[in-house]
Chains A and B, each alone.
Chain A
Amino acid sequence: MTLEIVGISVLWLFLFGYIIVASIDFGAGFFSAYSELANKKHVIHQIIQRYLSPVWEVTNVFLVFFFVGMVGFFPKTAYYYGTILLVPASISIILLAIRGSYYAFSTYGIKDNKWYMFLYGMTGVFIPASLSIVFTISEGGFVRINDGEPTLLYKQLFVSPFTWSVVLLSLTSVLYISANFLTYYANAAGDERARELLRKYALVWSGPTILSALVITYQLNHHNVEHYTKMMDVSWMFVVSFFFFLVSLYLLVKKRYFGWSFISLVLQYAFAFYAYGISHYPYLLYPYLTIYDSFTNKTMATALVIAFIAGLFLLIPSLVLLLKLFLFDKKYVKGQI
């Protein structure tokens, strides 16, 4: 395995981690705000706040880790994506800022400001939408290079149906992943009313995720044939992914083993996300940038890998401790401490 592959694998893993934990966070925020505005607050608000409060800063670090690692392993991405994403990424920063400040101000300081709650809930859908733009851009067709200087073609990007399908998939996924996880969490907390409401949300959003994924696959065939063909080469992974989707859904319908339902969901997304990533190889930005021509040098990559392994020794025990204290501590989950 070359260092390029090691690097992109590590980053892809962290991006996947971010997508799962951030989806839970974004969706939970959305449900939390929705329940507030729809007067169902008493049912699920408590559950969501107990889960979200201790972990939100950790969620954000996954994202920072991803883009810092990206610049570390593939410095040319800083040049290409840095230049192209000036406006889209700045919008994401502002949305993340609104979201982070809600945690700071509302959870720890001022409570129950409806207007802020609404803004916060909306960031839960706008952030994934704005971040998903990066995937769309990476497929090519939205960037022009003039005298070596890349520019983003805003108009093409904005009117392309492909862009909007990706946005749609990101939104439905956020809501589905989040509702599925929170169903498990509410069940662990022994709060049946919250569980039933969240389970209903999960069932509602399960179908649309698959539908939007199918629409994207169809559009990719027209937008980027090369990628589409390579995706068909690993179609078995999508089949496995769909199988886990069915398992997850079945358990949800049968109201059994909510933990396994969520694990199946993670596997469903893992297979689909890796199938997408593997078929995207070797391009970081079609057709200008691959992991090979943007790669840093051997020495730096080796140093980064060593730092990464050393860091994991520090992080994994700490994360386990965090999860043990808040996620798997029955008393905490039930609100007894």
Chain B
Amino acid sequence: MYNPVLFSRILTELTLTFHIIYATIGVGVPLMIAIAQWVGIRKNDEHYILLARRWTRGFVITVAVGVVTGTAIGLQLSLLWPNFMNLAGQVISLPLFMETFAFFFEAIFLGIYLYTWDRFNDQKKHFLLLIPVAIGSSASALFITIVNAFMNTPQGFEWKNGVITNIQPLVAMFTPAMPTKVAHVLTTAYMTSAFVLASIAAFHLLKGNRHPYHKKALHLTVKAALIFSLATIVVGDLSGKFLAKYQPEKLAAAEWHFETSTHAPLVLFGTLDEKKEVKNAIKIPSALSILAHNLPSAEVTGLNDIPKEEQPPLYIHYLFDLMVLIGVWLTVMATLYWAGMKKGLAFPLKKPFLWQLVLSGPLAMLAIEIGWYFTEVGRQPWILRGYMKTAEAATKSAHVDTLLVIFSLLYLVLGVASVVVLTKMFRNNPVERELEERALNQGGVSS
């Protein structure tokens, strides 16, 4: 039987799963390019400048696909969730509106930055153009995450018999969920982008290309990744505290914490039997109480205190654990690299370690996806927590199933094509050749 709610959910999930890859790169990579170009200018080192140039070339392709998928999700919000947009549009359209401005700003300066590499004699002037790009992309993330935060902890309006009154746009923007959510999205986007770029450098080193260019690239990216990972851990801890206070059902479901209790343990993985007893899990005593309230003896609300029809699905426990596990693993590996390099040890550039660095980018991206599923599924059954359920929000139109098939094909083609184009682009123009050409050109100018 045709079920538009289900198909709307799958199609939105699909679009976001695809878009978030490009969005994450779009938010994080400009910052990494800025760092590389800045280091290059400061050290007067051609390698870092070339690093920035090459990253930018790849970045342009991901931005272009991101524009496409971003337009898709922007429209799909109204096409698939007309009831939700009709309601939420009255309260939360301000940040949506501001997001387009932020993106506008970013797009303009990205265009300028791209086509003016050689138009400035002073590299610093060109570098300045990158600042609005980085600010614009992070501001886009800020505004969009504000909307998502609002869906989790809506406020800034009064609701009487289906009519919304007394609207305060700014109160709706600065919800309790907003600070931790925004911080989490930003730090993880920076972290993931740094790991993705580290993967590329590690891949070249692993293939036996020991050019200093790649070593510098690896060093810069892993160090940046370490800093952003540590920031992510701090923000992650604060997010736990936010959930405990404002969305206890999400935290309880994520932790399979059924009975409200003090000294609540942190449950890692495991299974549930028919009586909802946790089996085969690793339990860390009192750790959930600490995550939730910083105190081993603190009381954590259990899922049994939440009405049954308002409980999120229990499988989010695995999503939560996987996300945290990957985050911790990546942080440990980045720390090992940093410590090893500092002590002058050889292992960080040896094959086994490089192998896991190659995997770090895909792993980080996987954690982004899983984390996104966790927070979205963890809000179910609500689309606007406490006010509107997902099932009430969806379109009733026909053909959502057909569109799902068509969009799946579209994303498949776009995904494959972006990988093919990116590989071709860099394979046809290896670093060594480009460095030689640049040296020749500059020699020509000065002589």
Query: Which A residues lie at the B interface, using CB under 8 A?
Result: 53-55, 57-58, 60-61, 63-65, 67-69, 71-73, 75-76, 78-83, 85-87, 89-90, 92-94, 96-97, 100-101, 103-105, 108-110, 149, 151, 296-297, 299-300, 303-304, 307-308, 311, 314-315, 318-319, 321-322, 325-326, 337
Contact = CB atoms under 8 A, between A and B. Distances in A.
Given A61-B107, A86-B395, 16 more contacts: A54-B111, A65-B101, A68-B100, A78-B82, A83-B82, A92-B75, A93-B72, A97-B414, A101-B64, A101-B417, A104-B65, A105-B421, A108-B421, A296-B93, A300-B94, A325-B115
A59 B351 CA distance: 47
B272 interface: no
A130 to B, nearest CB: 12
Interface in B378-396: 395-396
Contact of B93 (A82, A85, A92, A304): A304
21 contacts: A57-B67, A61-B107, A69-B100, A71-B78, A73-B93, A75-B86, A79-B86, A82-B80, A82-B81, A82-B395, A103-B64, A105-B417, A303-B94, A303-B170, A304-B94, A307-B94, A311-B98, A311-B101, A322-B112, A325-B119, A337-B118
Interface string B160-177: 000011011110000000
B89 interface: yes
Interface string B69-108: 1111011111111110111111101101111110111011
Contacts, number: 212
A86 B399 contact: yes
Contacts of A303: 94, 169-170
Main secondary structure of the interface of A (DSSP, over half): helix
A83 B116 CA distance: 44
A101 B407 CA distance: 14
B436 to A, nearest CB: 22
A285 B114 CA distance: 42
Given A58-B107, A297-B90, A82 B78 contact: yes
B345 interface: no
A219 B75 CA distance: 31
Contact of A71 (B61, B69, B85, B101): B85
A304 B79 CA distance: 22
A68 B97 contact: yes
Given A54-B115, A68-B93, A81-B78, A314 B105 contact: yes
Contacts of B258: none
Given A68-B74, A97-B410, A108-B61, A75 B403 contact: no
Nearest to A100: B68
Interface residues of B, number: 74
Contacts of A325: 112, 115-116, 119
B79 A90 contact: yes
Given A296-B90, A322-B112, A97 B72 contact: yes
Given A64-B103, A109-B61, A78 B72 contact: no
Contacts of B88: 75
B55 interface: no
Nearest to A294: B86
A96 B68 contact: yes
A301 to B, nearest CB: 10
- Residue from B65, B76, B88, B97 whose CB has the most chain A CB atoms within 10 Å: B97
B71 A82 contact: no
A48 to B, nearest CB: 15
Contact of B424 (A109, A296, A337): A109
Contact of B132 (A78, A318, A326): A318
